[in-house]
Structure 1
Amino acid sequence: MYENKISARQLRRMIFIETFGAGALSIPAFACYKEQNGFWSLIFYGVFLAGTIAFFIIFSGKISEENFENRKIGKTGLARNVNINVSKMQTRLKSINFPEVLPQPIKFVYMIRFFINAVALFYFFGKTIQTVYMPESSFLFIIFPAAILLCYSLYTTLQKRARFLEIIFPWIITTYFIAVILSFIGIEKAMQIGNAGELWQGILSDNIFRSMGNGYLMLLCSSPIEFLLFLRPAAEERGTETKNRKVEDKNNKEGKNNREGKDDKAIRDIITAVAGAILCNVLFCFLSVRTLGPTLTSQSEWPVIKMMQLIRMPGGFLERFDILPIIFWILCMMAVLSGYLYYGWSIFQTRSGGCLKNFLGITFVCLVLLTCVVEKHTLLWTFYLKYKAFVDFPLSLILPLVVWLFKRQKDFNYQEKT
């Protein structure tokens, strides 16, 4: 009954995991790209992300606006049916899911985009594990079990997926704070705090335009924020549907106030989750830059792992501290990857009108084969980075606008006919 509904707490935790997860290990490298100190990059990152969040909040609300269906109540005779009294009508809410309002061409574009992003992130996931921890293992051996787990997520429901992310959230946040605390303790001598004059001089030496570009690259790590289009309409307390049935006989004004209150709470939860993700990224950037310096931070693909490898605790306690950030990164990355596949699958279901049994096998084979192709041809990975910056992310902003215009025109035509 509530398989496509999630609670406010689940919404907040899902947004945090998906926003923070994909680029957690690499975002300090983007902040210091081209030997910038990272301060202005973080400022631009926060501004860009705030604007993107506002955009998706506005258009997710406009697209998922609830339809109102008038339903006649009480007994009606044959003669009384001619003139219907408005007071004897009641309003029934009909929620709109994002895939349901997509035109067929837009559905196809979303499916292609989500699948390309899933393949690219899956390659990055396997490459990180292979390079840092399993250099002697084959690439296929690393990604094969993960591909099975990801394909299983296609046949789950939004409520089950939300519960799973809700369960792993305490593990993610606990592991993160343990890693941060140990970083402060274990690399205290290696940290280059510097005085206020040196810090200010480093900030002034940054090129504003380069920092703006770095902020945009950091924003690309939070691109799953477009999942708001799917999550916000589903953000409804479990008892809401029952409560709506009990108060159906009340006037429309009370119903409107109730909806506005729930919508405001959902927006606050989204802002809270994104603010937490920004804070976690800023803390990682600060630790990386103060420990490795801007140059080494920008030269490493995973500066957080390199930073954690510098930790030395007395007595040889826990030799590999870099295992801590990789644990929560794996959980977050699997959440983001399963999100791309799940929402793409949801769109496919509305497009095909049903569930195809062979789609699971096709997705699994394509995911593994395409990832292996990307591994052998690194030029494809370079092409993806440009595609992400100049095609995919702009499309993520343009498509909701097109869908809203289409929905508005469709509603207008329906009102004219009725």
Structure 2
Amino acid sequence: MPEEGKNKGGNAPRSKGERKDMISNRQMKRTLMIELFSTTGLFLSAMAQNLKQLSLGMLAAALYAVYFLCIGNHYQISQVGRIRKTVYTVRFFLYACFLGTLMKLLVSKMLLGGGSGWFIFLPVFLLSIYANRGGREERARLLELLFWFVFLPLFVVLILAAKDVHLEYLIQGGFHAEKSIQVFVCFSSLEILLFFTGERREKVKALFFVFGLNLLIFIVTIGMYGAKMAEASDLPVVTMIQMVRFPGGFVERLDIFMLAFWILSLFAIFSAYCFYGTFFWGKGKGSFWLSCLFYGGVLAIVSWNQLDLQTLIDFFQTYVLWLDLPLAVILPLLNTKRRKRAVVVTMLSTLLFIVTGCGPKRVNIEERAYVLAIGVEAKEERWKVSFFLPENERIETEGKSWEEIKKEFQRSSDKELELGHLKAVILGKGVEAEDFKEQWKNEQDYAKTVLLFTTQEPIKEFEKIDENTRDSLGSFLVELAERNKKEITIGDYFAGRGKIPDLSIRKGIPTL
């Protein structure tokens, strides 16, 4: 079987250090699959709202991959000067800090209910040191062992979720260049192709696998509950997994089960950046102390970092787009010959043409009207809609269609209508559920996990409850549905699952 690092001289004996860097093409392919997939699969579904935005971002990422495939066989990072090595080390150090903090936050949020994720990160950190100490061969063996543990459960979940996919959700909405750029940034780890010198054909197979699996996850995630659910969630894939149920219900918390395997995938890319950030300095006393400084710095920053998940993602995404990606492209060009450089510049110009553009107009938080609940009544073919906002604020509008109602809302408020935090919709007198479905089938500005209720009570009665409740009417109704185990979402109803629960008011308190 072909091996990376194989000498062209034939049967010359290899040193122990050289043997540590020899891996088979199969090991290379599987290592690339895990390392390239872990972060893209986790966040890609939050970056685009439809296939148009996704496809352009992935096209740019494919060109980015072709660039590294073309230049990789002529570029040896271990042979570049000290300044460039230092730049690579600093960049990969920042990636390792980001990924380490990401693991800690995921564990804290999803597994420990807000507790410290330190006790999970520390074993992963120590395992990374152990695996990297054995060289590329030791890492490849470990990742080959993890391969099926990472991907097999994911394929099972995607198969179970496929039956609930609504293909029409994938083509709704317009095109925004900003979303395509965010998709492209998700693939920044493609640079690690430079560190593999095996057969290009095997690298291409790994890339097809990663791009194809990411496309499949996007289709299932957005197709199940729409773009707004993914956009409103820090972890769109985990949200999708939470909706999936195994036949027979023998796994209640599938999201925890899956996240445990995803941590293994994140371990792969975390240990990769730790390895790539130090190995090209060679062996010796100086490189040993550099490795100690590298790993010690990562441990210190991950331990100290107090950023929340969304702030961490936003900050690092900005850094990657404006600083890291240009460096990733420019550094290899410093070694290319003039003719090859012209080809590469042409390719990069095409890439820049694709990923640059004016994104949608940004609306500040204070300029948004966050709707928490909606009450709808109908009379003489006109809808009367009550929008319940934070701090007991309400706005009432009327119209013959949902589009007309939204326009009336904008005339009544100086803020932008925002349905991303919507928790509940109440269908009152005169409103048929099928009419509501027809009006909202093309609406993409809310999550399909919004709870749906019917009632024969006047919506005015719920306004009184909103005034007296401690939090908001929307949060109150969510808690009520959870206690009574009558949680029917808009996504459930649109998919033909379940019966909409009916709300009544007894002594001023809503009941089911």
> TM over 0.5, yes or no?
yes
2:244 to 303, 308, 311: 311
1:206 and 2:174 correspond: yes
1:121 is aligned to: 99
1:5-404 map, 5 Å: 5-32=22-49, 38-63=50-75, 98-184=76-162, 188=163, 191=164, 193=166, 198=168, 203=171, 205-207=173-175, 210=176, 212-232=177-197, 235=198, 266-349=199-282, 354=285, 356-359=287-290, 361-376=292-307, 382-404=314-336
- Aligned residue identity for 2:35: E
Are the aligned partners of 2:93 and 2:277 in contact in 1 as well (CA < 8 Å)?
yes
Q: 1:360 to 1:152 in 2, by over 3 A?
A: farther
- CA-to-aligned-CA distance 1:63-85 (integer Å, 9 cap, x gap): 2xxxxxxxxxxxxxxxxxxxxxx
Q: Read off the aligned partner of 1:159 and give its amino acid letter.
A: E
| Separation in 1, partners of 2:183, 2:117 | 27
Identity of aligned residues (%): 26
Distance change >3 Å, CA 14–CA 192, structure 1 → 2: closer
CA distance in structure 1 between the aligned counterparts of 2:315 and 2:245, rounded to whole angstroms: 39
Cα deviation, residue 116, structure 1: 0.4
AA in 2 matched with 1:203:
I
CA separation of 1:170 and 1:22: change in aligned 2, threshold 3 A: same
Structure (1 or 2) with the larger CA radius of gyration: 2
Over aligned residue pairs, what C-alpha RMSD do you find? 2.6
Q: Per residue, is there more helix in 1 or in 2? A: 1
User: Quick one: distance in 2 between partners of 1:19 and 1:140?
Assistant: 25
Amino acid at match of 2:73: G
Match of 1:76 in 2: none
Q: Residue 297 of structure 1: SS of its match in structure 2?
A: helix
Higher strand share: 2
- SS of match in other structure, 1:41: helix
Cα displacement (A) at 1:137: 2.5
1:381 shift after superposition: 5.8
In 2, Cα distance between the equivalents of 1:315 and 1:381?
37
Answer whether contact 2:278 2:290 (CA < 8 A) is retained.
no
CA contact (8 A) 1:151 1:360 kept: no
8 Å Cα contact 1:309-1:322 kept in structure 2: yes
CA distance in 2, matches of 1:121, 1:309: 23
Partner Cα separation in structure 1 for residue 260 and residue 119 of structure 2: 19
Which stretches in structure 1 are left out of the alignment for 5+ residues?
33-37, 64-97, 236-265, 409-418
Q: Report the AA paired with residue 55 of structure 1.
A: Y
State the distance in 2 between where 1:334 and 1:192 align: 30
Q: In structure 2, what is the Cα distance between the partners aligned to 1:109 and 1:286? A: 37
Structure 2 CA distance, aligned partners of 1:47 and 1:402? 25
Q: What is the TM-score with the length of structure 1 in the denominator?
A: 0.71
- 1:99: how far off? 3.1
Matches of 2:69 and 2:229, distance apart in 1: 37
2 CA distance for matches of 1:117 and 1:172? Answer: 21
Deviations, residues 252-294 of structure 1 (Å, cap 9, x unaligned): xxxxxxxxxxxxxx12111111111111111111111111211
Q: How many residues align?
A: 322
Shift of 1:348: 3.2
Quickly say closer, same or farther: Cα 1:115–1:385, change in 2 above 3 A.
same
User: Within 2, Cα distance between the matches of 1:392 and 1:123?
Assistant: 18
Deviation at 1:324, TM superposition (A): 4.4
- Contact 1:5-1:159 within 8 A present in 2 as well: yes
Instruction: Name the stretch that deviates more: 112-121 or 303-312.
Output: 303-312
Distance in 1 of aligned mates of 2:119 and 2:28:
34
- The one-letter code matched in structure 2 to 1:29 is A
CA drift of 1:313 comes to: 4.1
Contact 1:172 1:331 (C-alpha < 8 Å) held by counterparts: yes
- Taking the aligned partners of 2:257 and 2:195, their CA distance within structure 1 comes to 31
Contact 2:45 2:217 in 1 (8 A): yes
- Distance in 1, Cα, partners of 2:25 & 2:246: 40
Match of 2:377 in 1: none
Alignment match, 2:433: none
Distance 1:229 1:112, change over 3 A: same
CA contact (8 A) 2:54 2:180 kept: yes
Whole-angstrom distance in 1 between the partners of 2:308 and 2:111: 22
Distance 2:291 2:307 in 1: 25
For 2:23 and 2:224, how far apart are their aligned partners in 1?
Answer: 41
1:4 to 16, 21, 24: 21
